[in-house]
């Protein structure tokens, strides 16, 4: 669901976040309208607003694990974890974690990839939140959900800064709630 339809209608912070997103056409491949969040986080107010919105939503939901998806989920997830008193765990691209891992393959808008999580990173029954910068097809989030569930965690929600209204991959999220702050930008004006 979109933040604007869930208590934050007309909230000027959402407009600020949306306006800070820069669209880069044809990156990294022709046809992709790349949503660049670097200016969201280089503006202190906009970055703080983004984290605050998530923290306000998740602080009383009994969440003990905030899982961030490499790479851009790492920008937001640790700040949220610290603020709500949860642990942060990284879901990493293949070959980056030194310990024993479990892996999940998934398809991207522009290729295939794999996510890994350390065995023992979460305990059975823990309540987890998954954070990323953007949901496009939903393939990445669905892989993250599978990893956490294989480890016995309960995925309470997935949350992204940017997401399409009709996330085609919503079905791939297996019914898990998805919380999105703003829609993708069509241009940077």
Ligand X SMILES: O=P(O)(O)OC[C@H]1O[C@H](OP(=O)(O)OP(=O)(O)O)[C@H](O)[C@@H]1O
**Minimal distance in Å, beta carbon 60 to ligand X?**
27
* CA distances in angstroms from 176 to 48, 53, 157, 158, listed in the order given: 26, 20, 6, 7
Taking 3-state DSSP, the helix, strand and coil percentages for the chain, each rounded to the nearest 5, stand at: 35, 30, 35
How many residues lie near ligand X (CB under 6 A)?
17
Q: Which two tokens stand for residue 93?
A: 């691209």
**Residue 35 is a binding residue for ligand X (CB under 6 A):** no
**Minimal distance in Å, beta carbon 135 to ligand ADE?**
8
Stretch that binds ligand X, among 79-87, 134-142, 151-159, 176-184 (CB under 6 A): 134-142
Q: What x-and-dash track marks residues 114-153 binding ligand ADE by CB under 6 A?
A: --------------------x-x-----------------
Q: Which of 2, 34, 74, 88 binds ligand ADE (CB under 6 A)?
A: 34
**What residues form DSSP beta bridges with 125?**
none
CB 182 within 8 A of CB 17: yes
């Amino acid at each position: 669901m979109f933040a604007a339809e869930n208590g934050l209608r007309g909230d000027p912070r959402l407009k600020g976040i949306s306006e800070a997103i820069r669209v880069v056409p044809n990156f990294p491949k022709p046809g992709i309208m790349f949503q660049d969040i670097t200016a969201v986080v280089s503006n202190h107010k906009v970055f703080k607003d983004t984290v605050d919105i998530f923290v306000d939503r998740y602080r009383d939901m009994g969440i003990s694990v905030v899982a961030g998806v490499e790479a851009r989920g790492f920008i937001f997830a640790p700040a949220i974890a610290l603020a709500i008193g949860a642990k942060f765990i990284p879901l990493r691209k293949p070959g980056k974690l030194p310990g024993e891992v479990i892996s999940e393959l998934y398809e991207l808008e522009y290729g295939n990839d794999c996510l890994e999580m350390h065995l023992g990173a979460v305990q059975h029954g823990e309540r987890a939140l998954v954070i990323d910068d953007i949901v496009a097809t939903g393939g990445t989030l669905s892989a993250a959900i599978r990893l956490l569930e294989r480890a016995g965690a309960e995925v309470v929600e997935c949350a992204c800064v940017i997401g399409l209204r009709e996330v085609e991959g919503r079905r791939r999220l297996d019914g898990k709630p998805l919380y999105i702050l703003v829609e993708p930008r069509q241009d940077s004006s």
